[in-house]
Structure 1
């Protein structure tokens, strides 16, 4: 999942489920009853999670594991009796993670906790041992460029040093007011000073590794702390010859403090990744064929790829297995849906919604045939929010479909109409930008933003199965009702308000996919 700001729309949001609205239906749809029974009594979520997260593992675009995931998902849908295919849309850098061993060899021997970043080059078999130096605190680019001549044969640290590895909520709870204020001021000052240090180089932190590589550094060391103990954000790098690694906050701090105090540490980095050339990229598409209106579609959307610091459990393994379970339930209790239910298991969402954007670009013939898109991509919690995304009549059809959902599966759910069209964030945007009703099924947090979103702690132990079972049943009911509705829903959009400059805000512009790594 990519976190981006939505278009700000000054339109009143309406909460659908007020206390007067929530009630149990007096007459229950037998299909809904069957969905609830099947999803409760015969859930396959744990089996799907085991295979996807534990056996296959992380699903970084361009890796053999991503291809393995595509094939596994496809085979699961075929086993359900659905039509399924891997649909090629581009290429990416082929790469496979190997073991990463990081050892401080001086002034004492210590194993360090860290990992090689995605697509980072490997070291030689015995690793690379060298001194560690800090990014210079240059006054300007001239001074920085002069310093570059001194780093040949060295590792360079390019991240800010954190004075405390305790999260802010602990400081608030346990520290004295004086101590908390002191730490807050110190953190703010340190962050501002480091930002200025980076600015004075003339490069961003993302650009620096390549600059240091060209200057002769043997590796780059960073630490992207998430703000909670033990969790770091793990992304990728653009270097061609030298490894880039991310260290845990404390091990990074250890090296930083030694270097800052004149005791030059030495580190051996042994990173055994594999450059696999170029790999094809895919979406896995499955179709539960409809009957009366088979050429119209209800789309269930989730991205299959992940970053690979953990196993991509909550971003977005839970989204994938939830959609798989929802369709399995429907296939069991609804042999002949009116419309075709299409499941989009997208590739390379994390690099810019590439898979879903490619699908939208490659299938213009489907645009006017899609009833609705339900997208799930933000963790393991119960679905708690749905925005109308700026579609004027979304309140009508979404509330109609939600009416069929038993109260216990929607009691925490809030809806906001007409809402605002998302400009980024996840795969529903690829459809919304083409005027196709697409809705993000937003979940309760469970600490998602700091604990598991793109971190080394996004692993299967963080999954809350009661919540995703709730979600699978809810989505199955919504898909059923959307499929059975007599007509395609309205696509009329709200008139967006003026922005701060007095200009009319615009609907999100459809963007093409990035079909290869540059």
Structure 2
């Protein structure tokens, strides 16, 4: 090789080397201490047990949710975290469920498994009525039943076919599945069974109409069939938390096998008499909901913040264990580990436990708007008429000073399964950083970094305005098959070892982000904000802090 060629090669090597990132430094001694504290002195099951068994379901705006806010604030403070407080934001009416029993009285007696939808009224004592089955797919269909529903309990569909399980009820990622997940999906397929935007919009308009229709027709209650089999009841919201809006009549979701029996009896032209006793309550004394916030103060870079969080609210068929007391307990355990080790992070570490996630990421959206920034109102008036989660948010971003000071946000909300890696949210610059952070955790099963985007949870509130926010990859366990929003979402479905592992991974990531010389690199904010969870979002703004 000539001297000129050697010189050119040297220049090329220097140029290429300048483009490659330096090896990410990881403090292995501290990571070892984090592992030891989290795996030998864990308090995660104590925390999640109190949230589920003692407090129970935590619907946004309910007394149980406020109890959870107060308890988590006090617990974080007792561990030594600073500035533990609640931040309020405008929500609307609270709601809670005290009891729900449904009986078939004739042609034979039977106890039925059913749970009311949230934000719907109770029956004001036991109410009896004959069942009637309807099929309403449009406002025009409803007209066929006008004058026939007074005093009746209305089944909203025919019996549905039950299914034999086509996969294991409890699953973990295989090596092959993690390898596939690590490859970027240029044109991801829609999630099976997930309706498109237009279908959701059409259904929501029909639901609003039917709330008014069934109220005007003086129906006692409506009953729909659960989408799951085996006595599993999946339930969320049904009425409205907006004061002044009609919440409709009592709205029940019934176990498929019990619903199908009633439907078949009606198909035999037999009279079926049911009795429902639902005791629910609306709360109008405080229109605010609250996020729990606390900090481990930083040192030389205390003005910059690394955040971690999870949503504390839940639905009510179970006790909100895997969705999402698990994530809240993991986040709390992560900061407990860091505080117990008396680590002195360079950046401030801030934990936030969100309310209003199940209603559409409302609590985290309000917090981000208050502290970091927000997108403007859509220019298209048709978009402004839609709930927030259905809008195509393309407006300009207005930022606050703290927008530049957030180093990263890490979120946990995918059930009880152990962490297997992290979604890099199309940010190629963080991939080698995250890969370095995962190496000392690989023996715990956390190995995969994917550039793919994932949705449906609170990191989106940050991502939509260009902040570096990330959700972890977790084993599904039985989240989609048994527990997600169901009456089986209880403490017994939690996996102790998985939650311990998740807390160690989260604590390690938060510590690494708080200690590195630079904040995590950011990608350009998306032109169109990704859609949050499929739940209606009323308009609200952050308000009080206490």
The alignment's TM-score, normalised by the length of structure 1, stands at: 0.81
Tell me the residue number matched to 2:305. Answer: 297
Q: Does the aligned pair in 1 maintain the 2:456–2:531 contact within 8 Å?
A: no
- 1:54 to 1:137, Cα distance in 2 relative to 1, 3 A: closer
1:435 matched to 2:466: yes
Distance 1:206 1:378, change over 3 A: farther
Q: 1:510 to 1:365 in 2, by over 3 A?
A: farther
Match of residue 217, structure 1, among 216, 219, 237: 219
For residue 209 of structure 1, report the CA deviation from its aligned partner: 4.1
- Summarize the alignment of residues 257-406 of structure 1 with structure 2, pairs less than 5 Å apart: 257-279=264-286, 280-363=288-371, 364-403=400-439, 405-406=440-441
CA distance in structure 2 between the partners assigned to 1:122 and 1:202 by the alignment: 22
CA distance 1:407–1:240, shift in 2 (3 Å): closer
Q: Give the direction of change, closer, same or farther, for the CA distance of 1:385–1:249 in structure 2 (3 Å limit).
A: same
Cα distance change, pair 168–30 in 1 and its aligned pair in 2 (3 A): closer
Q: Distance in 2 between matches of 1:233 and 1:133?
A: 22
Q: Work out the CA distance in 2 between the residues paired with 1:320 and 1:202.
A: 30
Q: Name the SS for the 1:221 alignment partner.
A: strand
1:51-90 alignment, distance < 5 Å: 51-83=50-82, 84-90=84-90
Q: What CA RMSD, in Å, does the superposition of the two structures yield over aligned residues? A: 2.9
Partner residue of 2:511 out of 480, 487, 494:
480
What residue number does 1:173 align with?
Answer: none
Question: Which residue is equivalent to 1:252?
Answer: 259
Distance, in Å, in 2 between the alignment partners of 1:169 and 1:301 is 32
Give the 3-state SS of the residue equivalent to 2:70 in structure 1: helix
Contact 1:231 1:450 in 2 (8 A): no
Distance in 1, Cα, partners of 2:221 & 2:110: 19
CA distance 1:393–1:44, change in 2 (3 Å): same
Are 1:462 and 2:493 an aligned pair?
yes
Greater shift in the superposed pair: 325-334 or 114-123? 114-123
> Where does residue 540 of structure 2 map in the other structure?
515
Instruction: Out of 42-51 and 278-287, give the one that drifted further.
Output: 278-287
Q: Is this contact kept in 1: 2:105–2:273, CA < 8 A?
A: yes
Map Cα deviations across residues 140-193 of structure 1 (whole Å, 9 max, x no partner). 8556413221111111101341233543449xxxxxxxxxxxxxxxxxxxx9xx
1:156 to 118, 134, 154: 154
| Gap change, CA 1:165 and 1:110, over 3 Å in 2 | farther
Q: Structure 1 stretches of 5 or more lacking a match?
A: 1-26, 171-190, 192-197, 497-504
Deviation at 1:451, TM superposition (A): 1.1
Match of 1:413 in 2: 447
Give the direction of change, closer, same or farther, for the CA distance of 1:477–1:105 in structure 2 (3 Å limit).
same
Displacement, 1:318?
A: 0.6
Q: After superposition, what is the alpha-carbon deviation per residue over 1:212-241, rounded to whole angstroms, capped at 9, x for unaligned?
A: 222221111112223x42222111222546
* Structure-1 residue corresponding to 2:237: 236
Give the whole-Å Cα distance in 1 for the aligned partners of 2:443 and 2:204: 55
Deviation at 1:449, TM superposition (A): 1.6
The secondary structure found in structure 2 opposite 1:150 is: coil
Closer, same or farther: CA 437–115 of 1 in aligned 2, 3 Å: same
Equivalent residues in 2 for 1:194-213 (5 A)? 204=206, 207-213=209-215
**CA separation of 1:360 and 1:368: change in aligned 2, threshold 3 A:** same
Inter-CA distance 509–57: structure 2 relative to 1 (3 Å threshold): closer
Q: Quick one: structure 1 residues 278 and 235, their matched pair in 2 at CA, closer, same or farther if it must change by over 3 Å? A: farther
CA contact (8 A) 1:348 1:355 kept: yes
Q: Which residue of 2 aligns with 1:176?
A: none
Q: CA deviation at 1:428?
A: 0.5
Determine the C-alpha separation between the residues in 1 that align with 2:539 and 2:434: 32
Q: Contact conserved, 2:135 with 2:156, CA < 8 A, in 1? A: no
Q: CA deviation at 1:374?
A: 0.7
Question: Aligned residue pairs: how many?
Answer: 449
| Distance in 2 (alpha carbons) for counterparts of 1:28 and 1:482 | 11
CA distance 1:322–1:141, shift in 2 (3 Å): closer
CA distance in 1, matches of 2:434, 2:136: 55
How many angstroms apart in 2 are the aligned matches of 1:460 and 1:362?
Answer: 34
Measure, in 1, the Cα distance between the counterparts of 2:450 and 2:63. 41
Match of residue 9 from structure 1: none
Shift of 1:473: 0.6
CA distance in 1 between partners of 2:422 and 2:269 (Å) = 55
Q: Which residue does the alignment assign to 1:48?
A: 47
Preserved contact between residue 139 and residue 209 of structure 2 (Cα < 8 Å): no
Query: Which runs of structure 2 are paired with 1:119-138 in the superposition (5 Å)?
Result: 119-125=119-125, 127-136=126-135
